[in-house]
């Protein structure tokens, strides 16, 4: 659907942990799980010939933060070789994170950065909170953007930051920015698929849709309505009915089938009678030889 809509970039985000796997945060999702999701999306995109979006895989928490940047590169290679992505995304703009980005880019894998609200770091940030709302923190975000650009990132996601801050970062950088809850001054926009379509697939998202997310559909209600209608039709006997029972036998085959069933029935009756007869004979033998003809077990020497 995304490809057919002409969307330019498909980001397989670690938000799948929440909207697909039912976790409370993005942190628990594993590398193998993210590869599985990316593989599935890649196969879907391959079916659409008229438009091919850029496919970006989100590197999950714990796969690129190490001082040994070879770990990040090794895991990035898995995204490319096993999942077929065009690029990977990493969160954070610290000097250490920039070193990891540089290592991955020099290794031949394109990297999208992500600053502002970085969901993988909510333990440090204190929850899902907007970032860059003070002058000093906003200036830090500008520096982080420049640092990631210098490290070789081809684009940067700006999440949950004031519009003026996102606009400043966009105007400062030479690479494109992708905003989510960052106003209209970024180069592009991204939203979580399930949020924008109103899929209601996770309790958190059902109760709280981010203020920055415009709902373009209410798919969740349509799904629920359809399931309830199915349940009602089954319980009332309306479904499947003749309209949805398309497969039938010819009259000739029906007669042949009935004849086969009759033969089977007679064979089962014959076997049952034989078994009953053998059981009766066994009882008679036991009565005669073990207990005597009078059944009282009397004997003499």
Q: Which residues pair with 58 in a beta bridge?
A: 89
Q: How far is CA 173 from CA 11, 167, 176, in A?
A: 21, 10, 7
Q: For 2-216, CATH number?
A: 3.20.20.60
Q: Mean pLDDT score of the chain, rounded to an integer?
A: 89
Is the model's pLDDT at 210 over the cut of 80? no
Is the model's pLDDT at 200 over the cut of 70? no
pLDDT score of 154 = 99
Long-range contacts formed by 207-214: CB under 8 A, 24+ apart: 210/181, 211/181, 212/160, 212/180, 212/181, 212/182, 213/181
Q: Which residues pair with 11 in a beta bridge?
A: 56
Percent above pLDDT 70 for the chain = 90
**Catalytic residue flag (residue 159):** yes
- Of the residues 65, 91, 144, 159, which is catalytic? 159
pLDDT digits 0-9 by tens, 140-186:
999 999 999 999 999 999 999 999 999 999 999 999 999 999 999 99
The angle subtended at Cα 89 by Cα 151 and Cα 161, nearest 5°, is 85
Question: Which of the two residues, 202 and 67, has the higher pLDDT score?
Answer: 67
3-state helix, strand, coil in the chain (%, to 5): 50, 10, 40
Is the model's pLDDT at 301 over the cut of 50? no
């Amino acid at each position: 659907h995304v490809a057919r809509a002409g969307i330019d970039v498909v980001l397989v985000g670690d938000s799948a942990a929440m909207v697909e796997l039912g976790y409370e945060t993005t942190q628990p999702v594993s590398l193998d799980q993210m590869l599985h999701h990316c593989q599935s999306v890649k196969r879907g995109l391959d079916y659409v010939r008229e438009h091919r979006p850029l496919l970006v895989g989100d590197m999950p928490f714990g796969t690129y933060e190490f001082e040994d940047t070879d770990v990040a590169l090794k895991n990035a290679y898995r995204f490319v070789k096993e999942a077929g992505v065009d690029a990977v995304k990493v969160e954070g703009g610290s000097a250490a994170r920039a070193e990891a980005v540089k290592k991955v880019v020099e290794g031949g894998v394109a990297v999208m950065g992500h600053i502002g609200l970085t969901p993988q770091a909510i333990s440090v940030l204190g929850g899902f909170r907007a970032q860059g709302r003070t002058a000093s923190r906003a200036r830090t975000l500008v520096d982080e953007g420049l640092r990631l650009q210098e490290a070789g990132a081809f684009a940067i996601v700006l999440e949950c930051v004031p519009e003026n801050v996102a606009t400043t970062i966009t105007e400062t950088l030479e690479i494109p920015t992708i905003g989510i809850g960052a106003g209209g001054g970024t180069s592009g926009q991204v939203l979580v698929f399930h949020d924008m379509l109103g899929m209601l697939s996770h309790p958190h998202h059902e109760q709280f849709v981010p203020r920055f997310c415009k709902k373009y559909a209410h798919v969740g209600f349509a799904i629920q309505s359809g399931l309830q209608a199915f349940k009602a039709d089954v319980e009332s006997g309306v479904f499947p009915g003749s309209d949805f029972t398309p497969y039938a036998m010819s009259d000739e085959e029906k007669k042949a089938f009935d004849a086969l069933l009759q033969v089977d029935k007679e064979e089962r009756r014959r076997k049952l009678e034989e078994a009953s007869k053998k059981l009766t004979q066994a009882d008679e033998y036991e009565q005669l030889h073990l207990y005597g003809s009078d059944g009282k077990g009397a004997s003499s020497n």
